Amino acid sequence: MNLIDTSAGLRLGALATGAADDLGQRLEQLNAIGASLSAERDINRLLEAILGAAKTITRADGGTLYRVTEDKTLRFEIVRTSSLKYYLGGTTGNPVPFYPIQLYNKEGKPNHSMVAAHAALTGKTVNIADAYTAEGFDFSGTRAFDSKTGYRSKSFLTVPMRNHEHETIGVLQLINAHDPRSGEIVAFSASDQRLAESLASQAAIALTNRMLINQLEQLFETLAEVLGRAGSAALGKAQSLGRVGETHGAAVGAAGST
């Protein structure tokens, strides 16, 4: 009589079911995050919410949010590393001391040596299992940070933030994904990448819309101020003319009585 060992199959089935349930929960998180981003009015809190949400759904320990500037650089906006309690930018009151990353060198050539710049320039996600063994990118700054803090930056997921006009307005960079069962640092999975890319797209649209709304609000405030000054000036002129008329009328009346 042959006995078939089904324990391995049962374990694999349980793992597959657990992974599907986990992905479903993270998709629900993503939908809830998208709604909350659209409701946030403050730019700094919005940027923090974007990075915090990206770290949560990918189980990343660290992350940085960059914004593309008018002079073609990537400016560090928000920096977070949970295990180090390292929080810079946004509403923390702690300024980010790092220089912006140049998208182009002095000769005008694109800077593909820095992974964040490469993602911004190409509009493509870069998923790296271990920064210390990866080829093609300069991680000297990462190594210097690790040497100074005792940290070990390993897995990197760098995602461009592209809005509805396919314009890259920023970059999300996530560091050190954790396995939910073992707690060990692992590479970012394909599911992590898809979730992060979806969030980055929603975030870029929310950020673009918020910036446009803020600009419109500032424009309306400026117009109201200009119209208010113009109205005050017109009222002052009318009052001045009224006083002149009163003076003239009084003078005429005085002349008529003599």
pLDDT in tens, 172-182: 999 999 999 99
Domain containing 147: what range? 28-206
Whether residue 137 lies inside any domain: the answer is yes
| Angle subtended at Cα 141 by Cα 140 and Cα 145, rounded to the nearest 5 degrees | 115
Distance between CA atoms of residues 185 and 129, nearest Å: 10
Mean pLDDT of 5-13: 46
Q: How many domains does the chain have?
A: 1
Pairing state between β 185-186 and 168-178: antiparallel
Query: pTM, whole model, 2 decimals?
Result: 0.74
Distance between CA atoms of residues 21 and 143, nearest Å: 37
Token digits of residue 143 = 């190594």
Whether residue 219 lies inside any domain: the answer is no
Distance between CA atoms of residues 17 and 23, nearest Å: 10
Whether residue 101 lies inside any domain: the answer is yes
* b/e per residue 144-175 (b: at least 16 CB within 10 A): ebbeeeebebbbbbbbbbbbeeeebbbbbbbb
Crossing angle of the two packed helices 190-256 and 43-58, in degrees rounded to 10: 170
Which of 100-104, 136-140, 204-208 is predicted least confidently?
204-208
Whether residue 34 lies inside any domain: the answer is yes
Whether residue 239 lies inside any domain: the answer is no
Distance between CA atoms of residues 171 and 120, nearest Å: 6
Render pLDDT for 19-54 as a digit per residue (tens, 0 to 9): 555 767 776 777 676 667 777 778 888 889 899 999
Q: Which helix (H) or strand (E) holds 80?
A: strand 73-81
Whether residue 10 lies inside any domain: the answer is no
Whether residue 225 lies inside any domain: the answer is no
Whether residue 229 lies inside any domain: the answer is no
CATH number (domain holding residue 175): 3.30.450.40
Q: How confident is the model at residue 4 (pLDDT cuts 50, 70, 90)?
A: very low
CB distance 180 to 222 below 8 Å: no
- Looking at residue 214, its pLDDT comes to 58
- Looking at residue 163, its pLDDT comes to 87
The CA-to-CA distance between both ends of the chain, in Å, stands at: 140
Other beta carbons within 10 Å of 186? 17
Token digits of residue 7 = 């324990």
